[in-house]
Amino acid sequence: MYSYALLEKGCYYLIQEKEESPVSLIKVNMESESSMYVSKYGDVTMLEWKRKTDFIFDIIELLDDDAVKKWEAIYNDNADTFNYEEDEE
């Protein structure tokens, strides 16, 4: 088992919080003495505080800059699609 304390500020990670949970993409935005403020990306972006001692079942991958750029292009393209449809109504 891992914990949020192992993650670095400003980095994107693919993680699995629990053994049976789906893979999630997170970014560590800020670090305090005891906690981490993270963005969790899915259908909706969630911003949440996690204790550094909170467990992570698996840290699958630290995404490199190229992977982040490719993901951002896809994620932002999908966000624009949804916004476009809402504007039409």
The pLDDT tens digits for 30-56 are 999 999 999 999 888 999 999 999 999
Q: Select from 61, 78, 52 the least CA-distant residue to 23.
A: 61
**Domain count for the chain:** 1
Q: Is residue 84 part of a domain?
A: no
Report helix, strand or coil for 48: strand
Range of the domain at 7: 2-63
Q: Is the pLDDT of residue 81 over 60?
A: no
Q: What is the DSSP letter of 37?
A: E
Q: What single letter denotes the amino acid at residue 29?
A: N
Residue with tokens 């997170």: 26
Q: What is the mean pLDDT of the chain?
A: 89
Q: Is residue 37 part of a domain?
A: yes
Q: Is residue 6 part of a domain?
A: yes
Alpha carbon distance 80, 22 (integer Å): 25
Q: Is residue 28 part of a domain?
A: yes
Q: Is residue 80 part of a domain?
A: no
Q: Is residue 45 part of a domain?
A: yes
pLDDT band at 1 (very low <50, low <70, confident <90, very high): confident
Q: Is residue 55 part of a domain?
A: yes
